[in-house]
Structure 1
Amino acid sequence: MGIAEEQSKASAALASSKTTSSSRDSASTAPAQRQAGKIDVLIQGVALFSDGYNIQIIGYMNTVLAKLYPKQMTTQVKTRLSNSILIGDIFGMLLFGLCIDRFGRRVGIILTTLFLVFGIILATASHGATVEGMFWMMVTGRGVAGVGAGGEYTVCTSQALECADSTPEMRRRRGMLVAVSTNAAIISGFVGSSIVSLIVIAAYGGKPSDGIWRICFGIGIILPLAIFFFRMRLNDSEQYRKHAIHSKMPYWLAIKFYWRPLLGCCSAWFLYDFVVYPFNLLAPTLVSGFSKDQSMISSIGWSALVNFFALPGSFIGALLMDRIGRRQTYALGWSIVCDFGFAIGGSMIQLKNIFPLFVVLYALFQTFLSVGPGDCNFLVSSESFPTPLRGHFLGFAAAIGKVGAAIGTTTLSEALASFDNPTKGQQAIFLIGSAISVVGTLCVWFLIPDAPVNLEDEDVRFRNYLEANGYDTKEMGLSASNT
């Protein structure tokens, strides 16, 4: 009851506070800055494309490494390699979520790029006195790269959202712009990693070689460096300059006010990543299970085709977002995923003899994962919170998602390996993934809030709430902190 009254008081004071906020803006002495445009939104997608590439490439290189080192490449080593970048992601999301709210979005660009590039170099140059030692260096390098990639989730999503809200025209398409520059970009990176893998493997005549994984890892360094200076041209958003809190962050008040959307965003992202990351990384294994005679190119090619179908799903979700609403798009995607997952799991024995049908159903399963939670996670977890908390709560929700990815990858990999009959193992993981999707549908329907029309409304609502609870808001904003 107390929280509802506090939110009512904050909302009731919205109109009067807009006048106060306008006077603060006019009093600001900050110099005029370049107006953000659509290109500034979409360039964040290029950075996240590289993250998608670097995350997914290990799924294909596991196939190569397993043929090169069949004795040393155990299930535990494979899971360790897959999870290392996810664990790094978690640290990066939490660290840079705090960093960009306190020090600005541009600081995050510099640091995340440094971590990502250094980690890729380490992984590409992996060596050791033994094969196990080489694997440990690879795990370390990918973990460091993960810190940078995880930081990019918060940096790029925050910048994309705030740029997309900078003009009335872009605001009307904010959902689509953010979805394209986040989820669609990352999935494009997944697809890009499969294309690069196929080209490099073909260049080696389809035979396993250390050169394959070193080249494929090393290519991941190109895009972060190529767009670094362009991204540095983008200034901190107007929303950040007006509402940033650089000290005395009111954490307890923030949690009291936003606990419900935070719980919803964290739950949805955890459940989504629990499903989508294992199914992406295990795609070559699932496909190869239909035939013991598949070559590396054949196995990766089929799994690449399956993962490709998530890409049109991301664009379908982007088109729906601003038309039917975030929560509705979320729930629609999840519920259809449930149907396809249970259909695949229930008929896996029959599908064993109809490989093309399995690929089609698996592809549709991936498509609707992307339509719903894949697109909505980034958008909802960034626009549900005010600017001074955006990095904090977005980073926390994304980090919880990656915890789900790490747990899901371990759990489903072990579930798949625990069955003597591979078909039974595949059946089990599809049924588990579908059951989780049912829970995800319920979470988003009951916990995800409606989107604010513009970001300023949410910022003013939070400011009013703070003032109503005795917090001094005079120090909020860059101009206040510089005086």
Structure 2
Amino acid sequence: MSTVETGTVRTRVPARVDRLPWSRWHWMIVIGLGTVWILDGLEVTIVGNIAGAISAPGSGVHITAAQVSGLGAAMYVAGACAGALFFGWLTDRFGRKKLFMVTLGLYLAATALTAISFSAWWFFLFRFLTGLGIGGEYAAINSAIDELIPSRHRGRVDIVINGTYWLGAAFGALATVPLLGDLPAGVGWRVCFGIGAVLGVLILLVRRNVPESPRWLFIHGRDRQAERLVDGVEQRIEQEQHLDLPQPEQEITIRQRRTIGFVTIARTMLRLYPRRSVLGVALFVGQAFLYNAITFGFATILTTFFTVPKGSTGYYYAVIAAGNFLGPLFLGPLFDTVGRKIMISGTYIGSGVLLLGTALLFDRGMLSATTMTACWCVVLFVASAGASSAYLTVSEVFPMETRALAIALFYAVGTAVGGITGPLLFARLVATGHVADTAIAFVVGAAMMIVGGVVEAFLGVDAERQGLENIAKPLTAEDPDSTSGGPGVEPATG
């Protein structure tokens, strides 16, 4: 890290950022940072759909479909968990901007190299490295977005951005049908990966203009740089919107540090905020189980129980992906107006109850492929907003110095538990070919989601429309009263 002067500073930077009106500058942040989730959705969907093509004769790779969807998916998940933890720690240490450029660069390189796979080991290696980059993105991007977006818009922006994963999933589901059907066996699947790399380059070009978080800057001894950054943004907005921005009154005194140790971060999360740590685990594990209950073996369920042709399952997947995106889009604003606890617990419990109803209808043989997909679409319309709110929650209820690592830790735990245990359990239940066993998979996913909603109802934090420093005082803050917030803000023991 470069040499910086550290001391004690009193600053209004957080309050100045939070009171900014929405502007083209904020749209640049959303496009530059948020669109990366489209790549994640694209990646996961493509791999799920190319298993048959890459394992076919003439594909150029000696690999089986089971290896692609099994070990290949596991390597991607393992990479995502490792990347989230490793890059999350680096993001808190070296800054948001450096790491969200590095992680996207890693994703681009690994995806491009996956496209030229010539053997199974090469494919598995670069699936792991692709996951490593995407996992790092989750920590770097969510922390940067929450620190740059005004508090009154933070909830809806974060939730909609995380929901764009499903735009990528829908695009991947539809794009792979003609690419795999019309191009030669050894070309189509490579082009699918190439699409992800091209989109990543476009995002990288926009991302170059996204600044470092001013909150991170002033805590790490770069308060002058933070002030200049916010000065420039304010001047641009005043010129664009022809207004004079009032100066906020709220200040905070910070004892600057170059680095903050891992032990300090861990102690903060486990000792100062144990209830919020339990909340984060419950939300991430709950949504991971529900999504695995529905999306894992999605094509198998359609082909086994409803005799849908294998080549047509992508169209059904595109429909539920659309439902997943529309949920955050329409419900997202309510997280800032109605409130976090009501909306998070409501979407978790509501989607769980809806999935229980779907399981009952499915078990009684009352659904067709079309009506089953319609039921899934309704369930995921509600669940997607809740799942996105899990990332929002852990990114705003812990001190700024621990934010990226907190996101990474809960993402890794949720992905490891729900993304490994879930598929192993649900695969065994679906593979039996018995309707009752598959219905049990739905019930398990629904129950875990409902548990997450109940935990939110008791341990959730009323964080809507409040500054991040009011929700969780920075570890480096010297005056305890300077960040006292509004009602519902929990003390450091929560």
Secondary structure, in 3 states, of the residue corresponding to 1:451?
Answer: coil
| Pair 1:60-2:58 in alignment | no
The verdict on how the C-alpha distance between 1:355 and 1:54 changes in structure 2, with shifts beyond 3 A counting, is closer
User: Are 2:163 and 2:385, in contact at CA under 8 Å, matched by a contact in 1?
Assistant: no
Matches within 5 A, 1:206-285: 209-244=185-220, 245-249=257-261, 250-251=264-265, 253-255=267-269, 256-277=271-292, 279-285=294-300
Residue number among 299, 304, 329 corresponding to 1:315 in the alignment? 329
Out of 7, 10, 13, the residue aligned to residue 21 of structure 1 is 10
Q: Is the 8 A contact 1:41 1:163 kept in 2?
A: no
Match of 2:148 in 1: 163
One-letter amino acid of the structure 1 residue matched with residue 114 of structure 2: A
Counterpart of 2:118? 127
Give matches, 1:25-424, under 5 Å. 36-65=25-54, 73=64, 75=66, 78-128=69-119, 134=120, 136-165=121-150, 171-181=151-161, 183-204=162-183, 209-244=185-220, 245-249=257-261, 250-251=264-265, 253-255=267-269, 256-277=271-292, 279-292=294-307, 294-296=309-311, 298-351=312-365, 354-372=368-386, 374-403=387-416, 404-417=418-431, 419=432, 421-424=433-436
State the TM-score, normalized to the length of structure 1.
0.80
CA contact (8 A) 2:52 2:65 kept: no
Q: How big is the shift at 1:20?
A: 6.5
The amino acid across from 1:196 in the alignment is: A
Flag the 1:36–1:259 CA change in 2: closer, same or farther, 3 A.
farther
Q: Are the equivalent residues in 2 in contact too, given 1:161–1:178 (CA < 8 A)?
A: yes
Q: 1:341 to 1:74 in 2, by over 3 A?
A: same
- Counterparts of 1:332 and 1:24 in 2: how far apart (Å)? 34
Compute the displacement of 1:455 (Å). 1.8
Deviation of the 1:112 alpha carbon: 0.5
Secondary structure, in 3 states, of the residue corresponding to 1:321? helix
Asked whether the equivalents of residues 31 and 206 of structure 2 are also in contact (C-alpha less than 8 Å), the reply is no
Specify whether residues 440 and 320 from structure 1 end up closer, same or farther in structure 2 by C-alpha distance, changes over 3 A only. Answer: same
Task: Look up the equivalent residue of 1:273 and give its one-letter code.
Answer: A
Instruction: Give the secondary-structure state (helix, strand or coil) at the position aligned to 1:227.
Output: helix
What residue in structure 1 maps to residue 489 of structure 2? none
Tell me the alpha carbon deviations over residues 125-181 of structure 1, each in whole angstroms, 9 at most, x when there is no partner.
2223xxxxx2x332221111000001111111111111113xxxxx32221112222
CA contact (8 A) 1:42 1:160 kept: no
The residue that corresponds to 2:237 in the other structure is none
Cα distance per residue 1:111-130 (max 9 Å; x no partner): 212321222123222223xx
1:251-293 deviation per Cα after TM superposition (whole angstroms, max 9, x unaligned)? 3541321222122112211221132145334222222223446
Comparing 54-63 with 243-252, greater Cα deviation is found at 243-252
Paired residue secondary structure (1:309): helix
Q: 1:53 to 1:353 in 2, by over 3 A?
A: closer
- Partner amino acid, structure 1, of 2:315: G
Superimposed CA distance per residue, residues 182-213 of structure 1 (whole angstroms, 9 cap, x where no aligned partner): x2221211112112212313434xxx934332
> Hey, what's the Cα distance between the residues in 2 that align with 1:448 and 1:196?
40
Distance 1:240-1:430 versus aligned 2 partners, 3 A rule: same
The 3-state SS of whatever aligns with 1:449 is coil
CA separation of 1:20 and 1:268: change in aligned 2, threshold 3 A: same
Structure in which a larger fraction of residues adopt helix = 1
Cα distance in structure 2, aligned partners of 1:160 and 1:352: 44
Residues 266, 401 of structure 1: 8 Å contact kept? yes
CA distance in 2, matches of 1:42, 1:337: 29
Amino acid at match of 1:301: Y
Decide whether aligned partners of structure 1 residues 416 and 466 sit closer, same or farther in structure 2, where only a CA change above 3 A counts: farther
2:455 aligned partner: 443
Take 2:327 and 2:434, find their aligned partners in 1: how far apart are those partners?
29
**Pairwise CA distance, 1:23:** 8.6
Contact 1:38 1:164 in 2 (8 A): no
Q: Which moved more, 1:156-165 or 1:272-281?
A: 272-281
Structure 1 range deviating more: 257-266 or 352-361: 352-361
In structure 1, what is the Cα distance between the partners aligned to 2:103 and 2:13?
A: 33
1:105 and 1:293 map into 2 onto residues whose CA distance is 45
Q: TM-score, normalised by structure 2?
A: 0.78
- 1:308 and 1:457 mapped to 2: Cα distance? 36
Q: Secondary structure at the match of 2:398?
A: coil
Return the letter of the residue paired with 2:216: Y
Q: Which AA in structure 1 matches 2:32?
A: I
Amino acid at match of 1:173: H
- Closer, same or farther in 2 for the Cα pair 1:23/1:52, shift >3 Å? closer
**Pairwise CA distance, 1:306:** 2.3
